[in-house]
Structure 1
Amino acid sequence: MPIPVYGHPGTYRPGDTFHNRIDLSLSGVHRPRRAGVCGTQLLGAESIVLAGQYEEDDFGEEEILYSGNGGRDPKTGRQIMDQVPTTGILALLRSVETGQPVRVLRKVLAEDGEPDVYRYEGLYQVVSSTYGPGKSGFQVYVFQLRPFRTA
């Protein structure tokens, strides 16, 4: 198991872009090639990817709302059942407790026929979580993240 990295990995900084999930993985900025959360229940989350897959996700200047994973129909992408605590959700819940910085990456849709990219948005702190009815009526986890500030 790789050693967790909290904070900026290597020389990568906010604004850097990556062509695809493989580039994210090889760089170490976000190791999983498919999962939206990199982390463990024991140590917390290292990084997350906002890819526009969940209806509760919202990226704002001073706050991110990030939905837990699971409960979606694989064909339509619609929420069809309640979310249950999986590895990613448990890692984010742990991050609320630890206060460790989490790297945030976001899929940016390209214009004019250019390919989509993943942009490193920076370090955030998971400040809270809720579990309740989402927009589709099913129970979902929603995590509130704010820019990480060192004391």
Structure 2
Amino acid sequence: MPPVFGHVGTYRPGDTFHNRIELAFSGVHRPRRAGVCGTRALVAESIVLAGQYEDDEFGEPEIRYSGNGGRDPKTGRQVTGQLAVGTNLALLKSQETGRPVRVPGKVPGEYGPDVYRYEGLCRVVEARFGPGKSGYNVLSFASGRFCS
């Protein structure tokens, strides 16, 4: 499937998906495990707000999303610093170009397990590199809440 920037098909904010596989098949966020979909050449298409990194902050009026890398998958804690490579470069390129990024987020299901809700589009407006909660250098990306 070629990259799509902006909304995909008829999916709009508020639409829900039962799991990451359904989310991937929809095209709203294509990777089944990775939190960022994109390449440094093409910028980021989407990010998933799943709270996997200890330095993530998902609130009003902004999202602060940690870059990829250095996280222990068992504890969720940062165990090494991050580098400006791979999808971290895609997020930096998104800031540079101003292209919108799709944002689904993990939320409690209405009648059971967590689901993924499409929150909408945002723009990366800031990138920082510095010590995170565990003392390791972390790339951190901020966006204004949602632009549509």
CA distance in 1, matches of 2:110, 2:28: 24
* CA apart distance, 1:95: 0.3
Q: Could you tell me how far apart the structure 2 residues matched to 1:132 and 1:149 are?
A: 27
Contact 1:62 1:146 in 2 (8 A): yes
Q: Percent identity?
A: 68
Q: Is the 8 A contact 1:125 1:145 kept in 2?
A: yes
Instruction: Report runs of 4+ in structure 1 exceeding 2 Å deviation.
Output: 109-112, 147-150
* 124-133 or 50-59, larger mean C-alpha shift: 50-59
CA distance in 1, matches of 2:110, 2:11: 24
User: TM-score with structure 2 length normalisation?
Assistant: 0.94
Which deviations, in whole Å up to 9, do the C-alpha atoms of 1:2-35 show, x marking residues without a partner?
Answer: 3211111000000111000100110000000111
State yes or no: 1:76 paired with 2:75: yes
Counterpart in 2 of 1:50? 49
Contact 1:101 1:148 in 2 (8 A): no
Partner residue, 1:17: 16
Deviations 1:45-81 (A, max 9, x none): 0100011111111112321000001111122221111
RMSD: 1.5
User: Residue 133 of structure 1 is aligned with which of 131, 134, 138?
Assistant: 131
After superposition, residues 1-150 of structure 1 pair within 5 angstroms as 2-110=1-109, 114-147=112-145, 149=147
Amino acid of the residue matched to residue 131 of structure 1?
Answer: F
TM-score, normalization by structure 1 = 0.92
> Unmatched 5+ residue regions in structure 1?
none
Q: Distance in 1 between matches of 2:147 and 2:34?
A: 26
Aligned pairs, number:
148
**Structure 1 residue 146, shift from structure 2 partner:** 1.2
User: Structure 2 unaligned runs (5+)?
Assistant: none
